[in-house]
Amino acid sequence: MEILIIISTILSFAMLLAGYYMRFKAPKDKDMKMGVLILRAKASSEAWAYANRTCGNYWLIIGIIGLIMTVAVFFIYSFIGDKWANIFAIFTSAVICIGMSSSCTAVIKELHSKFDENGRQKGTK
């Protein structure tokens, strides 16, 4: 059981750290190897900044939710029992993983709706 709590804690902190990095410390050079690495995001510095800022926000939110759920797993384990804590720990890890992949899909869709293939905002000349 303890391993499931450790895994969900690591996932939560990884999401928080990566979200913070993308939101506040993403490299200004779009050719760096860290950040949202899709062609539309790398097309311009404006698209690059938008993609990293947006994905970072999503990952920070998911990390906070995951951390809250992990604390809940710990309390369930302490007060209710091992069986329910296992179920909730697996659910917590799934929520974090699904949230991470869904946020990436949402950022890609937002980039396609706001920026053209050259990295310019749609609706501007």
Range(s) of the domain holding residue 89: 2-114
Residue 35 lies in a domain: yes
pLDDT for the residue 31? 66
pLDDT, tens digit, 9 for 90 and up, residues 39-77: 888 888 888 889 999 999 999 999 999 999 999 988 988
Report yes or no on 90 lying in a domain: yes
Q: Please state the domain count of the chain.
A: 1
pLDDT value at residue 1: 61
In this prediction, residues 111-121 reach a mean pLDDT of: 88
DSSP conformation letters of 39-83: HHHHT-HHHHHHHHHHHHHHHHHHHHHHHHHHHHHHHHHHHT-HH
What mean pLDDT is reported for the chain? 88
pLDDT in tens, 67-86: 999 999 889 888 988 888 88
